[in-house]
A and B are shown apart, each in its own frame.
Chain A
Amino acid sequence: MLDSEVPQEGNSTLGGHRKAMYARGADGKLHIVQSAGWEVEEIVTRQAVDDLLRLTEEARQRVLAGQTSALEYHMYRVRMDVPLLAQASGIWQWRIRRHFRPAIFARLSPALLATYADAMGLSVEQLKKVD
Chain B
Amino acid sequence: MEFQHSQASHCESGVMSAMLRHHGLPLSEPMTFGLSSALSFAYLPIIKINGLPLVAYRMPPKAIIKGLQKPLGLKMRFETFGNPAAGVTRLNELLDQGKLVGLQTSVFWLPYLPEDLRFHFNAHNVLAFGREASGDYRLSDPVAETVVTCPPADLQRARFAKGALAPKGLLYYPVGTPQTPDWKKVLPAAITKTTRIMLDAPLPIIGVRGIRWLAKAIEKLDTGADAAHSKMFIGQVVRMQEEIGTGGGGFRFIYASFLQEAADLLGRPALGGLAEQLIDIGDEWREFALATARMIRDRDPLHPPKLADKLRAIADREQAFFRDLRRAA
A residues touching B (Cβ–Cβ < 8 Å)?
1, 12-24, 29-32, 34, 38-41, 43-49, 51, 78-81, 84, 87-88, 90, 119, 121
Contacts and interface: CB of A to CB of B under 8 A. Distances in A.
A38 B227 CA distance: 24
A88 B122 CA distance: 12
A23 B116 contact: no
B51 interface: yes
Contact of B296 (A17, A21, A47): A47
B253 interface: yes
Given A24-B279, A32-B9, A87-B163, A48 B236 contact: yes
Contacts of A29: 257, 260
B266 to A, nearest CB: 16
Contacts of B161: 88
Interface string B17-61: 000000000000110000000000000000000110000000000
Interface string B135-173: 000000001110000000000010001111010000000
A78 B239 CA distance: 20
Given A1-B279, A30-B279, A80-B120, A45 B243 contact: yes
Interface in B286-322: 286, 289-290, 292-293, 296-297
Enumerate the 3 nearest inter-chain pairs by beta-carbon distance, A residue then B residue, closest first. A15-B114, A13-B116, A30-B257
B248 interface: yes
**Size bracket, chain B contacts:** 35 or more
A28 B282 CA distance: 15
A48 B119 contact: yes
A22 B120 contact: no
B9 A20 contact: yes
SS class, residues of chain B in contact with chain A = helix
Interface in B229-271: 231-232, 235-236, 238-239, 242-243, 245, 247-249, 253-254, 256-257, 260
Interface of B: 7-9, 29-30, 50-51, 108-109, 114-120, 143-145, 157, 161-164, 166, 231-232, 235-236, 238-239, 242-243, 245, 247-249, 253-254, 256-257, 260, 275, 279, 282-283, 286, 289-290, 292-293, 296-297
B116 to A, nearest CB: 4
Contacts of A18: 145
A20 B143 contact: yes
21 contacts: A13-B114, A18-B145, A19-B245, A21-B248, A21-B253, A22-B30, A23-B253, A30-B30, A30-B256, A32-B7, A32-B8, A32-B9, A34-B7, A40-B293, A44-B242, A44-B293, A44-B296, A47-B235, A84-B120, A87-B164, A88-B161
Given A12-B116, A44-B292, 16 more contacts: A1-B248, A1-B286, A13-B117, A15-B117, A19-B9, A20-B7, A20-B143, A30-B253, A38-B242, A43-B296, A44-B296, A45-B117, A46-B116, A47-B296, A48-B235, A79-B119
A80 to B, nearest CB: 7
Contacts of B256: 22, 30
A43 B297 contact: yes
Nearest to B283: A1
Contacts of B119: 48, 79
